[in-house]
Structures are given as C-alpha cells and as structure tokens.
Amino acid sequence: MLAGAAAMAGGGAFALAGASNAAQPQTAAESAVCQGLATALGNNQRFIEDQRAHPDAQSAARIANREAVVAEIKRKQEASGCVVGESAQAGQAGQAGQASQAGQAGQAGQAGQAGQASQGAQPAQTAPASQSASPSSSGDSAGNAAGGGAASGQQVCKGSTVTLSGEAGAPAASSNQFPAGTTLKVTNLDNNKSTTVKVTSVSGSCVLLNNAAFEQVREPGKFLIRHALIEKVG
C-alpha cells in the first residue's frame, strides 16, 4: 500500500510539473506571434526614448500615444501566452525566430540586415499632415532620402518586415520614407493577400499598417509579416 501511495504521489507530482511547464510563457525565439509582439514593443520603446532625447512641440502627444500602444501590446502578449514585457528590435527578433527553426539558420543574417535597414516596425503616432512629411528623428531623415524618390510602381524597402500599429481607424499606413499622401501596396507573400493604403503619418519603419489594414493581409494569429512585397503605387 505504501509503495502504491508513493507511486501515485510521484505520478501526481509529474503531472503537476508537466502542467506547470505547459503554462510557461513563450519567448520571441519560440513563437512567431511572440516575435512580432516583442518587435512592436521594442520599437515603440525605442521611439519613446528618441522622442524624450530629442523633444519637439509634438513629442508629448506622440509619447502619450505610444505609451497607450505599449500597454495594448503587453495585454496582447499576456493573452497570447507570451512573456509579458519582452522587447526586441526587428533585426534581433527576426534572427532569434529564424535560428529556432530547423533548416532556416542560414536566413538569420538576412533577417538581421532587414531589421537594420528598416529599424523595426513601430506603431504610428497621430500627427498633422503638415508634419508627417517632416521626419521626427535622424533615422526618419535617412529613410526619406532612401525611399521618398522612388518611382510609381517600383518595389521599395526590399527585405523589410511589416507589423501593425495597434491603432484603429480606416485602413492606413505610416512611414519614415514616404510623405503623407503616398499610396503604398503591401503584399503578404506567405498568403498572397494585398492591401493598398495611403501614408497618413510618420513612424520608425518603411511601412507600418494600422489594425484595419493589417487585418486585410495578416495570417491568423500572427503579428508580423516576414515576407512582404512593398510597392509605391502613387
């Protein structure tokens, strides 16, 4: 009887340990969903730090907007079973996610280069159209010089990842390379879904989609488009 009781107790402890392990939050390296959320969080935090380091007349409003988006991202991390508060820049998160997948280790360097070129996907702030064309940081200046002069119908920001801003409203985008009024077409090459939207504000990446636009091209449960085709169409 004692031996049986010990066996039952051991089995119960094993079951509890298994349940505990199953409930452990996933990191960005373990989940594409967590990777996308960590990327969005990290770049929002970087944007806030940049605004505080180089403030202007609109910085307080931008920071308040981004802090609300940060809070929403953390709620999504918790709801998705991710590590709440995990933060990463786009290049770092892309490398971690790809390195964790068998047969894709050779792509880690490419993902890192894409993250450095786009400086991550950041949620956009609401800003007057007259200021949208004016970059809010040195990174925005470089972006406008790189992509603003692209011809209509030309592919732009090759290798960039695309994520969502967490903002409501009609389908729209923000960019650090194209002024307000520019029309961009974003195609998710993993499911061949496309959306055509106008740039309405400034962000820290080539193109960042608001919630409505992202829903038109996303894969279920994913917050990051790794393989995107971005075209300037107007």
Domain boundaries of the chain, sorted by first residue: 28-232
Q: What is the CATH number of domain 28-232?
A: 2.40.40.10
Residues near 27 by beta carbon (within 8 Å), at least 6 away in sequence: 34, 82, 83, 86, 96
Burial of 147 (0-12, 13-18, 19+ CB in 10 A): buried
Q: What tokens does 155 get? A: 């592919």
In whole angstroms, give the CA distance from residue 97 to residue 116.
Answer: 16
In whole angstroms, give the CA distance from residue 61 to residue 51.
Answer: 10
In whole angstroms, give the CA distance from residue 50 to residue 163.
Answer: 20
49-57, Cβ contacts within 8 angstroms, sequence gap of 24 or more? 50/136, 50/137, 50/139, 50/204, 51/136, 54/136, 54/137, 56/136
H/E element, 228? strand 228-232
In whole angstroms, give the CA distance from residue 200 to residue 191.
Answer: 26
Residues linked to residue 26 through DSSP beta bridges, in sequence order: 82
In whole angstroms, give the CA distance from residue 99 to residue 108.
Answer: 6
Residue 153, helix vs strand vs coil: coil
Residue 232, helix vs strand vs coil: strand
Q: How many C-beta atoms surround the C-beta of residue 104 within 10 A?
A: 12
Give pLDDT tens digits along the chain (234 positions). 555 555 555 555 544 445 445 578 989 888 888 888 888 888 888 888 888 998 887 788 778 878 878 888 888 888 889 999 998 865 444 444 444 444 444 444 444 444 444 444 444 444 433 333 333 333 333 333 345 566 667 899 998 889 887 778 999 998 888 999 999 999 999 999 999 999 988 877 889 899 999 999 999 988 889 899 999 998
Q: What is the pLDDT of residue 150?
A: 65
Alpha helices by DSSP H, listed for 128-210, are 129-132, 138-147
Q: What is the pLDDT of residue 43?
A: 80
Half-sphere exposure of 85 toward its Cβ, with a 13 Å CA cutoff?
0
